[in-house]
Amino acid sequence: MCGIVGYISTQPFNGQAMMSSLHHRGPDHAGGYSDQHNATTVFLGHTRLSILDLSEQGNQPMSTPDGQITIVFNGEVYNYEALRARHLSGVSFHSRTDTEVVLRLYEKMGMAALQELNGDFAFSIYDKRQGKVFLVKDRVGVKPLYYCNEGPTLIFGSEVKSLLAAGVKPELNQDELLNYFVFKYVPGNNTLHRNIKRLPPASYLEYDLSTGTSRQQHYWRLEKQSMYTGLAYRDAEEALFELLRDSTTMRLVSDVPVGNFLSGGLDSSILAYFVKDRRDMTHYCARKAESDLKKEGTTSDFHYASMLAKEWNLNLREAPIGSEEANTGLIRKTLFYSDDLIADGSQIPSYLITKDAALHSKVILSGMGADEIFLGYAGHMLTLLSLNVMEKMPFGLSGAFYSMASKVDQGKGKFLAYRRYIHKIGKYGKYPPYKYGILNLVGDFENSCAVFAGDKDRLVHMLESYFPAGEDTFDALARFEQENVLVKNLHYMDRMAMANSVECRVPFLDHRLLEFAFSIPRHYKLSASGKSKRILKDTFKTRLPEYIINRRKAGFGMPLRSIFSSREKVNGLLDKAFFANFNGFSVAHIDTLTDNHISGKEDNSSILYALISFQEWYKLNFT
């Protein structure tokens, strides 16, 4: 994993400053390439984190022997050796990198080469033969790529800060603020910088140097695969095991040490299963204080991870996370590195764990993605409950339940997690079908909408577009989560790992696994009785200890509910004067959200964190 930057313009930009802004993404080497096409300058820059072929032969930018094609590449193509053997047997290589394979494959096949790649990547190719520059992003969007395209000028980079270093003027995109507070990041391809966009997953941007114009095109979409149609459950288990084994094995390719996030949950334990015989591998786990766990109403990851580590003789390291880590300084640091604003309580522990991991492992595996594709979140169970139970009740009975459930206090009493779920389905049960998106978002939808006076109708229209009449609800939900929730999670993981110069790999998000999960029946993933990730649990029930298979799910993240249970802590983090002087915010409403949260009436922890994150992000970027 590395950092890439570049620009196409008749005016010069500071390419060195762009690369320097991404030093953390690639501290091992930095290099630039520049060429003139008539009056237009094409610049490509690269900062390298050496993972494959640690020699200088792997440095970038990298060009074909005739100098006609040049590439800057971020990420990994895991099947590069197979591709070299299959398509490039007669080609002479000067390195052992996947980057050179992609370069020569493009030379031979053009953009059709994208269909051959299995990996997580973002790259740019300058093709002198065609007079074109391409920006490319992997199928799922694991690796980031941002751009600003104003007139004939195109500026791009792996992070927003590289565009700002080039001189792109920071300008707040207030049209997206409401979306940010609801989703806890800006969904789609826009950002909170008005003139900076994300390149969508599974797409490429083609810039024509002769006309100064660009166009975008998708090269992959999530579709059901005929090979899995009608697959018996036992056969599906076998197919899943082989796909996961192959995906994990592929992501172990490295010339530097590889580690693993081990939460003691199902997903990370499955990855640990495939690597448990590698005694050189270190596993990393976040550890919350018992007082925080009690206030959160969740179980201890470290308890289960340490049990598994002892049973399998794994090398386990812990990273303490708790109230003391939730300070303005650390929040600002994670926001600096994320810079495309994300308000996710998992950012700080991800930063702390990868900071420790960087001492021992340059690459780390993560179980991210399994919950989205195999239906492991509480929102999936609420969706099933709504479809199979609530919507089949007589109207009067369901209405009475919704009314009663919506009054349940979320932050006090026993069974806190279940109280939050009951409240949510009660409050939104009567909503139109876009409620299934709401049930799967973090935080309360209406409270989030009330934070900022934005265009709620536009937001609702976007949600409605994912749940059209006649489409299977869980198919619609899969696309909604892939394009929104999953992208947000991948963004924060990439930024926090790269802040510490660590590459994060996600075996569950091999595109073949996404296609498999999307193709098999819903009840293979989430049973009619509410068993989540059913096929994962059944596939590994004889391979993992029972206490892993049947443990209660615990979200990975800072103990925000515990942290914000103290008015003193909230007041120390939340700058009300900032919001009082910012058009569109109501301090009175923020006070109400805070009061309801501290009293235990509501759980507004994610909204409070989103407010604090925006406040600090704005100060970093605009003051």
Exposure of 67 by Cβ count < 10 A (0-12 exposed, 13-18 middle, 19+ buried)?
Answer: exposed
CB 607 within 8 A of CB 451: yes
User: CA-to-CA distance for 274 and 294, rounded, in angstroms?
Assistant: 33
Residue 69 within any structural domain of the chain: yes
Q: Is residue 557 left, alpha or beta, with left meaning phi > 0 and alpha meaning psi from -120 to 50?
A: left
Give the tens place of pLDDT for each residue, 90-103: 899 999 999 999 99
pLDDT of residue 562: 74
Domain-embedded: residue 336? no
Residues whose CB falls within 8 Å of the CB of residue 73, separated by 6 or more in sequence, listed in order: 2, 4, 46, 60, 62, 98, 99, 102, 103, 121, 123
pLDDT of 36 reads 95
Q: Phi, psi at residue 256, to the nearest 5°?
A: -135, 165
pLDDT value of residue 551:
87
Region label for 235, one of left (φ > 0), alpha (ψ between -120 and 50) or beta (otherwise): alpha
How many CA atoms within 13 Å lie on the side-chain side of 617?
Answer: 26
Residue 517 located in a structural domain: no
Contact 382, 374 (CB under 8 A): no
pTM: 0.94
Total domains, the chain: 1
Beta-bridge partner residues of 298: none
CA dist 214 and 346 (Å) reads 36
Residue 376: inside a domain: no
Non-local CB neighbours of 607 within 8 Å, separated by 6+ positions: 181, 443, 444, 447, 448, 451, 593
212: CATH: 3.60.20.10
Measure the CA–CA gap between 496 and 500, rounded to whole angstroms: 7
For 363, other C-beta atoms within 10 Å of its C-beta total: 24
d(CA 353, CA 556): 12
62: nearest Cα among 136, 1, 145, 126: 126
Task: Give a yes or no: residue 100 inside a domain.
Answer: yes
Predicted local distance difference test score (pLDDT) of residue 292: 55
Q: Write out residues in the chain with pLDDT < 70, as ranges.
A: 288-299, 322-326, 413, 415, 554-559
- Residue among 151, 122, 114 nearest 22 (CA): 122
Q: Phi/psi zone of residue 202: left (φ > 0), alpha (ψ -120 to 50 degrees), beta?
A: left
- Residue 234 has a CB neighbour count (10 Å cut-off) of 10
Dihedral sign, CA of 522, 606, 185, 460? positive
Tokens of 334: 């994670």
Q: Is residue 200, in this structure, part of any structural domain at all?
A: yes
State which residues form the domain around 98.
3-218
Residue 291 lies in a domain: no
Report the amino acid identity of residue 541.
K
Locate the DSSP E strands across 78-168: 119-127, 132-137, 146-150, 153-157
Read out DSSP for 305-364? HHHHHHHHT-EEEEEEESGGG--HHHHHHHHHHH-S-B--TTHHHHHHHHHHHTTT-SEE
In a domain, 547, yes or no: no
Q: What is the pLDDT of residue 229?
A: 87
Judged by DSSP in three states, 609 sits in helix
**pLDDT, position 563:** 79
